Amino acid sequence: MTKQLSFMKSMHEILPHFRRRLNNAESTEDVKKFFTYTIMELFEKIFPDQNLLTYEDIDLLPGNVPPYTLSDRIINRYEVSQALETSDLKDILHKLAETASKRYIHLEKNPEKTESKIRL
């Protein structure tokens, strides 16, 4: 039996802030931005002192499977590819992307709420 790393503790540390950000998102662009910043924060916790991710390395793709993408530059990093293969990191990324995608789709279907906030 192989040992699997778990990053659930790191996810639980960022989850309340992530949910708060999504609840306060006023546009689909806010959702994408908050998702990206949250994943960057997660990677900082998992890979401290490595500054792996930049804003351009991750993208939320609502409606796609998986609902996010990581740049080749990141996927090809040994430590990241190992973490994706031997830990729950892929599941965590998927869960956070699904949560963000639901909020994105909700805001996309209800643009009048966003527009009314912008006019105020």
The predicted pLDDT at position 110 comes to 82
The predicted pLDDT at position 50 comes to 87
| CB within 8 Å of 56: residues ≥ 6 apart | 71
Q: Residue 74 in contact with residue 80, Cβ under 8 Å?
A: yes
Q: Residue 88 in contact with residue 4, Cβ under 8 Å?
A: yes
- The backbone torsions φ and ψ at residue 58, rounded to the nearest 5 degrees and listed phi first, read -135, 145
- Encoded tokens for 57: 């390395």
Torsion of CA 74, 6, 39, 35, to 10 degrees: 130
The predicted pLDDT at position 119 comes to 46
Q: Residue 5 in contact with residue 87, Cβ under 8 Å?
A: yes
Q: Please give the chain's pLDDT, 120 residues, in tens.
A: 456 689 999 999 999 999 999 999 999 999 999 999 999 999 999 999 888 899 999 999 999 999 999 999 999 999 999 999 999 999 999 999 999 999 999 999 987 655 555 544
